[in-house]
A and B are shown apart, each in its own frame.
Chain A
Amino acid sequence: MSEKNWPLWEVFIRSRNGMAHRHVGSVHAVDAAMALQNARDVYTRRGEGLSVWVVPSTAITASDPDDKDMLFEPTATKIYRHPTFYEIPDEVGHM
């Protein structure tokens, strides 16, 4: 057993046709092919997926939590961006 950790991979699973892949977690693996197998073995045991992506965690660029006020706060006052100001006629039914 190696003292060194294997590289980390982020796992994305698409549950149905037409849906987007969603991030579900991460696995350790020595390379991409094994990462795919590990993702299958760890995250699709209960029929969760039809397609799996794995991405090296190091390939992800993340926003800085300290920037969250600057990045995300300004949208809080712009409620007009939400499509909640329309009257939907009953005849349209479920949208």
Chain B
Amino acid sequence: MPKPLFDYALRLADNALVLGHRLSEWCGHAPVLEEDLALANMGLDLIGQARSLYGYAGEVEGAGRNEDALAYLRDAGAYRNVLLVEQPNGDFAATMMRQLMYAAFAHPYCEALRQSRDGTLAAIAAKSAKELAYHVRHAAEWVIRLGDGTADSHRRAQDALDELWPYTGELFEADDIERALIADGIAVDPETVRAAWQRTMEDVAGEATLILPRSGWMQSGGRTGRHSEHLGHILSEMQFLQRAYPGARW
């Protein structure tokens, strides 16, 4: 039985959870204490967004699955996040570039989702939009300083931009499930935020003296459960406790 609203909420939640988990991997490893906290703050913003969305998805599904069941008891093939968010942290430049690419999309997307005819999604989007606005600012300021910094930081920022660019196309994909929800005024058509995303990327790259790759062939597959090998490793760490000790609480 098709459950479009469940699928849609799950996609949004998976993006937020996987990226939030990636940021949490920096905890205790960031170059300076201030950035350690900044990365953890952004990670917690995203995990908070995921919790709200999983809670709603479980409610919509009506099969008794709560946020923990959806986050900890699904295998990689059932995850619906875009490939961008599961890419490895790499160096600091790669993490900030990935954050910028995602947030520059997710911020205008959530601003648009505030108008959703679904009141719960609109409320979650309103809260998320404020958090994501800060992620855009923080990541952009860093990308500018790295790109327009030393020869080494410039090279790393440009490498990150080039390597992650093919993962940005998937942000704008919409399938039949989503198109039906878009027609109903519940989901946002990702194509409508492409111009805002492109403008942010161009502005930041310009200030950072980085060269935006020409849009070419794009990676795809996360939205249908075809993930890179990285997601399995993320889940094996993230889900370990619930898998080893089912129902564990603290």
Contacts and interface: CB of A to CB of B under 8 A. Distances in A.
Nearest to A35: B34
Interface in A57-89: none
Interface of A: 1, 6, 27-30, 33-34, 37-38, 41-42, 45
A45 B32 contact: no
B38 A37 contact: yes
B31 interface: yes
Given A29-B34, A30-B145, A37 B137 contact: yes
Interface size range of chain B in the complex: 10 to 19
Report whether over half of chain B's contact residues are helix, strand or loop; otherwise say mixed. helix
A45 B37 contact: yes
A27 B145 CA distance: 18
B145 A34 contact: yes
Contacts of A27: 34
Interface of B: 31-35, 37-38, 41, 137-138, 141, 145
B51 to A, nearest CB: 18
Contacts of B34: 27-29, 38, 41-42
Contacts of A41: 34, 37-38, 41, 138
Contact of A37 (B31, B32, B33, B138): B138
6 contacts: A28-B32, A33-B141, A34-B145, A38-B34, A41-B38, A45-B37
